[in-house]
Each structure stands twice: as structure tokens, then as C-alpha cells.
Chain A
Amino acid sequence: MNFDLYGFGPALAAGTLMTIKLALSALCLGLVLGLLGALAKTSPYKPLQWLGGTYSTIVRGIPELLWVLLIYFGTVNLMRTLADFLHMESLELSPFAAGTIALGICFGAYATEVFRGAILAIPKGHREAGQALGMSKPRIFWRLILPQMWRIALPGLGNLFMILMKDTALVSVIGLEEIMRRSQIAVTSSKQAFTFYMVAALIYLSLTVIAMTGMYLLEKRASRGFVRSSQ
């Protein structure tokens, strides 16, 4: 076992940073998509309900890897048309952008269900109280529903984020230089496959532990002032 990792330590550290960046940007996109999906699914309008339902069903039924490949390779023609339309030389999705979109879409589909559960868990009286005070619908959502929703949705979102972090490894398939891709490069030159993939595994493990700790603290903060039920 060579402790300076054959000089690939800094490359792996850069890969870790890239993984974290990718996970966080996919998280942002996914949260927005999830909120929109949940709003569509709980709205009184049938077409919107259908839209939200189809989004979460279809995305959850297809492997994440297929989404990553589809977004990266499938949008080439689309981007070309768009470039023509905008009179630009060429336009293409970088692996980072494609990965963010693909993982964001997948995260959003699962988050739709988590948020929907959270919205439904808020007592009807709160909404009615807002109406009685003369608040508009968006205002009720923004000031009454959303702040309370987080607390309920947080454990579910935490699990999804853990899954998202592991799914970032898939983006190495389209060549983004994150942990897995950097380890693959290191393996080709050092021929020490087990060592480097084990190091990659340990990095993912420590990221998971950090995320778990963060989640625990967030949940503790979100549930301050609430009595924890004993079950």
C-alpha cells in the first residue's frame, strides 16, 4: 500500500470537490422540480395532477444511468437546433450540465412524492386560517405551508440526498472528472485497481457520514419546539 497514492492524491481531492459540486447543484434543481411536481400533484386542476403524476411515475421507472446517457447523448440534435435558432456557432451540454440535469430530474421525481406527503400532512385548518385572514393563495403557500413542510419532508429528503450522492458516480460514464473518473485515470496508469477503487469507496463513505451528520443537525434544528413522538 502506497500512502501518497502514486501522486494521484490531489487529483482525487479535486474529483471529490467536483462530486460535491455536482451533488449540490443537482440537489438545487431537484428541490425546485420536486416542489413544482408536488404542487402540480396536489393542485385541484386535473391536467396538472396528470402532469405531476406522469413525471414522477415515468422518471422513477427508468434507471438513472439511462437518464444520464439520454440527456447527454440525446440532446445533441436539440442543442444544434437551438444553436441555429440563436445564430450561435455551436452549443452543447457539458458533462457537468448534463449530469446536473439528469440527476436533478431523478431527484425531483422522488422529491415530488416526499413533498406531496408533507403538503398533505399539514392540517387543513392552517390553510383555512390563512384564508380567514385574507391571505392570497401564493402567500398562504409561502408563509404557512412551506415553512411547516420542511420539517416533515426533511428525513425523506435526507435519504434522497444520500442516494443522489451515490448516483453522482454515474456521471463518470459521460466523462465528468469526479471521484470515479479520476480513480479510473489513476488505475490506467498505476495498474492498482483495487487500491484506487477502495480509496474511492472510502471517500464516498466519508461523504455519506458527513451528509448523515449534517442531516441529523438539520433535523434537530427543524424540529426544535416540537415534542418528539415516542414511536
Chain B
Amino acid sequence: MNWEVIIKWLPRLSEGAVLTLELVAFAVIAGLILAIPMGIARSSRHWYIRSLPYGYIFFFRGTPLLVQLFLVYYGLAQFESVRQGPLWPYLRDPYWCAVLTMTLHTAAYIAEILRGAIQSVPPGEVEAARALGMSRFQTMVHILLPRAARIGLPAYSNEVILMLKASALASTITLLELTGMARTIIARTYLPVEIFFAAGMFYLVIAFVLVRGFKLLERWLRVDACQGR
């Protein structure tokens, strides 16, 4: 193992790590915002409200992220209307393509997590809120969603870690995030084991910090105490 090379290229690798973190942060936050209405619609009692998010989730969970990335980055350019459209400056940029695709991808998973969480809120609590004279909307905002957020949080933290690992795919559409940067450095140094090892360590450290952070968040939200067990 050639440690000098690793130390020499650490600054470039940390540049890549910053881009990785940026992509993941964008995706999981925007994905969450997108997923909330979808998760609510997905747990609806009416089939016609349920079916649209179901189709979306089925597509995005059933196909690899790599295919989705290629569909957006290479595929959209096939259409003349997209190339002439106002969004083209963004859609030709690999950064925004990666952000868009990762957001859409993770939104499907988060929506499914939210559906599970909403459906596992004890019905008695919703009935109690309704009996106290809360409207459907008030019940949703004050009872159902805060409860569901706590139930779904552990699964959400898993999803964030999965997105961290999925962000490595952004290197296939020319982005220089952690994996892309590692591949670029290897093209210069011909030392795949050392550089991939260093990149792997970066991922492990980021994952470790994220897991710790979510543990703290769970404690702060008192997830355990709120489960009513």
C-alpha cells in the first residue's frame, strides 16, 4: 500500500466528497418534499388516488438508477421540444440531471416508507383526534404526520445511506464526485487499489457520521418514547 500517494491526493478526493454530499443532500431533502404528498396519496382509501403514485413508485423502484440517469441525461436530448425548451440549460448539465434523477428515484422509496408509516399509526389515535372535533386536515397535520414521521425516521435514515451509495453512479454521467474523482486520479496514477481504498474510507466515514447524526435526531425527537410500547 502506497500511503504517500493517498495523502497526496486526499485534497482532490475531499473535493469529490463535497460534491457527493451536495448531491445526496439535495436528493434526500427534495425527495422528501416530493414524497410527502405522494405518500399521503398512496395511503388513500380511494383506488383512483392510490393508483397514480403506485405507478410512479413501481417504475422508479423496478428499474436501476443507472437506467434512469441515462434516460434523463442522454435520453431527453432525443426530443426536439426538450432541446428547444426553457429547461434545456439545466437538462444538459450533468449536475442537474443527477440531482433531478436522484430526487425522483429516492422520492419513490421515501413515499413507500411514508405510506408504511402512515398506515401503521394506530387507528385509535386518529379516531380520538376526530372525536375531539379536529377536522380531517387538522388530524393529518397535528396527529398523523408527526406520528408517521417518527415511525418512518429509521427507514428514512437507511434510505439516506442508500442514496449516499447510489450517488457513486453520478460518476457515469461525467460528474467528478467521490467515485468519479477516484477514477480520474487512477487514470493519472495507475494505482487503483490505493485510490479506491481511500475513496471507500471516505464513504465509510460519511456513512458513519450520518448514522450517528440520525441516532441523535431520533433521540431529539424521542422516537422510542413516542412509540407507545
CA distance A167 to B67 in the complex (A): 11
| Residue interface bits B45-77, CB-to-A below 8 A is 1, else 0 | 000000000000011001111111011001111
B84 proximal to A (CB < 8 A): no
B126 proximal to A (CB < 8 A): no
A197–B74 CB distance below 8 A: yes
- Most chain B CB atoms below 10 A, which of A76, A168, A201: A201
B161-187 interface (Cβ within 8 A of A): 161, 164-169, 171-172, 179, 182-183, 186
CA distance A166 to B68 in the complex (A): 11
Q: What are the residues of chain A within 8 A of B167 when measuring CB–CB?
A: 63
CA distance A76 to B67 in the complex (A): 29
Of B7-15, B28-36, B200-208, the segment with at least 4 beta carbons within 8 Å of chain A is: B200-208
B37 proximal to A (CB < 8 A): no
Q: Given A201-B71, A204-B67, A205-B63, decide whether A70 and B203 contact each other with a Cβ distance below 8 A.
A: no
A36 proximal to B (CB < 8 A): no
A63-102 interface (Cβ within 8 A of B): 63-66, 69-70, 73-74, 76-77
Q: Tell me how many residues of B have a C-beta within 8 Å of chain A.
A: 40
User: Min CB distance, A187 to chain B, in Å?
Assistant: 7
A62–B78 CB distance below 8 A: no
Q: Given A166-B63, A204-B67, decide whether A70 and B75 contact each other with a Cβ distance below 8 A.
A: no
B214 proximal to A (CB < 8 A): no
A129 proximal to B (CB < 8 A): no
A10 proximal to B (CB < 8 A): no
CA distance A167 to B169 in the complex (A): 11
| Residue interface bits A43-74, CB-to-B below 8 A is 1, else 0 | 00000000000000010011111100110011
A152 proximal to B (CB < 8 A): no
B184-203 interface (Cβ within 8 A of A): 186, 192-193, 196-197, 199-200, 203
Residue from B71, B161, B171 in contact with A197 in the complex, judged by beta carbons closer than 8 Å: B71
Of A130-138, A140-148, A169-177, A213-221, the segment with at least 4 beta carbons within 8 Å of chain B is: A169-177
Q: Given A66-B179, A208-B62, decide whether A61 and B208 contact each other with a Cβ distance below 8 A.
A: yes
Residue from A65, A169, A192 in contact with B179 in the complex, judged by beta carbons closer than 8 Å: A65
B79 proximal to A (CB < 8 A): yes
Q: What are the residues of chain B within 8 A of A166 when measuring CB–CB?
A: 63-65
CA distance A90 to B48 in the complex (A): 61
CA distance A95 to B94 in the complex (A): 27
Name 15 extra pairs, CB < 8 A, besides A170-B64, A180-B66, A200-B67: A64-B165, A64-B168, A70-B192, A70-B200, A169-B67, A180-B67, A187-B74, A192-B78, A193-B75, A194-B78, A201-B68, A201-B71, A204-B62, A208-B62, A208-B63
- 24 A-B interface contacts by CB (under 8 A): A61-B203, A61-B204, A63-B165, A64-B165, A66-B196, A66-B200, A70-B192, A70-B196, A73-B192, A74-B192, A166-B63, A166-B64, A169-B66, A183-B70, A193-B70, A193-B75, A193-B78, A194-B71, A194-B78, A195-B78, A198-B75, A201-B59, A204-B64, A208-B63
